[in-house]
Amino acid sequence: MDFTAIANSFVQHYYNTFDSGIAARNNLTSLYRPESMLTWESTQVMGQSDILAAMTKPELATVKHAVTSSDAQPAPGGGVLVAVTGSLAVDNAYDKPMQFAETFNLQPIPGQAGGFFVYNQIMRLIFGQ
């Protein structure tokens, strides 16, 4: 398994889709399953519909990410652990970028060779001291 290639492909797809607006963001539903969990700034949600609801809030209508780094490691069960850092701008406030760190635990989709879903996702904004 080329975990680096899987991670790179995932990161590109995830952030390009997320940054294409709320309507496009609905296409991310296929990356999640009922057992998927997202922690967004200490708020935890579980399952496809709740995760999608968290990502499509009106205040997140326009988001643009700039990925600075993406690291990957193999994870138990044939999974891939992906750590991403970068900056994001909300509502085209490019003069006020916020730093973020996000971690994904990708796991194989049962019965779908080569397919992965997001089992765990943790998103944290990083604020200066």
Q: Identify the CA nearest to 11 among candidates 52, 69, 60.
A: 69
Residue pair 117/106 in contact (Cβ under 8 Å)? The answer is yes
C-alpha dist (Å) from residue 58 to 12, 79, 94? 23, 32, 18
Indicate the number of domains in the chain.
1
* CATH number of the domain to which 63 belongs: 3.10.450.50
- pLDDT-based confidence at 127, cuts 50/70/90? confident
Residues 6+ apart with CB under 8 A from 38: 44, 45, 46, 50, 51, 54, 55, 118, 121, 122, 123
pLDDT tens digits, residue range 11-67?
999 999 999 999 999 999 999 999 999 999 889 999 999 999 999 988 888 999 999
Contact 72, 6 (CB under 8 A): yes
pLDDT tens digits, one per residue of 82-113: 999 999 998 877 678 899 999 999 999 988 88
Q: Could you tell me the pTM of the whole model?
A: 0.93
Q: What domain range includes position 119?
A: 3-126
pLDDT bin (cut points 50, 70, 90) of residue 128 is low
